[in-house]
Amino acid sequence: MAVTNRRRLTWDDFVVLPDEGRWEVFDEECHRTPAPNTRHQVLVGRLYLAFANHVRRHGGGQVFVAPLDVVLSLDPLAVVEPDLVVVADADADIVGEANIKGAPTLLVEVLSDPRRDRVRKRALYARHGVPEYWIVDPVADRVEVHRLSGDAYPTPALVEPGATLAVTALPGLTVDVAELLAR
């Protein structure tokens, strides 16, 4: 559900939104997303475990799973809630007590709304300098990897079962795409 606002939302407006649902604000619109389905949660869980276990053993950053606000900008307000967030040690200063303020090293979305994830969020993340953005597509059984080049994401790499995906944000970590997407 997108609600177009007559004035720009501020952080003070955002923090008093009703508790039901997950809220994101970008492109001067407020978006409420429903709870994810079970397949979505299985995929997020698998990625989180792989990433968190790697960080516990080897360091290199911090890994967060939704719900957690990522405040990309206060003016105009851009607050998102990606499924998985990786902040490399070099960017650790953006991690605050309540949220993340700035561009994380890697954001991962399990595809829920194709237009929002592939078009609007992709543009938003590029605009705010997110170095890498993954879209895990549980229907097409693949991972779309967007790596920032200049101020845009060129055509993504499409990684399908049978391949492994190197996590550039966490050197030494690879994801077996078949294992990730297994039903």
Q: What is the pLDDT of residue 77?
A: 87
Q: What is the pLDDT of residue 1?
A: 43
| Distance separating alpha carbons of residues 174 and 47, to the nearest angstrom | 11
CA-nearest of 9, 31, 34, 40 to 20 is 34
Expressed in angstroms, the distance from the first to the final Cα of the chain is 29
Confidence at 113, pLDDT banded by 50, 70, 90: confident
For the chain, how are helix, strand and coil distributed in percent, rounded to 5?
Answer: 25, 35, 40
Sign of CA dihedral 165, 60, 96, 131: negative
Q: pTM, whole model, 2 decimals?
A: 0.84
Fold of 37-181: tt1808, chain A (3.90.1570)
Averaged confidence pLDDT in the chain: 89
What tens digit of pLDDT does each residue of 134-174 get? Answer: 999 999 999 999 999 999 999 999 999 999 999 999 999 99
Residue 100's DSSP bridge partners are: 70, 95
Q: Look at 50 and 25; give whichever has higher pLDDT.
A: 50
Confidence at 68, pLDDT banded by 50, 70, 90: very high
Q: Look at 87 and 30; give whichever has higher pLDDT.
A: 87
Domain ranges in the chain are 37-181
What tens digit of pLDDT does each residue of 5-46 get? Answer: 445 666 666 666 666 667 666 766 666 676 778 999 999 999
| Position 56 pLDDT exceeds 50 | yes
| Distance separating alpha carbons of residues 69 and 162, to the nearest angstrom | 33
| Position 96 pLDDT exceeds 90 | yes
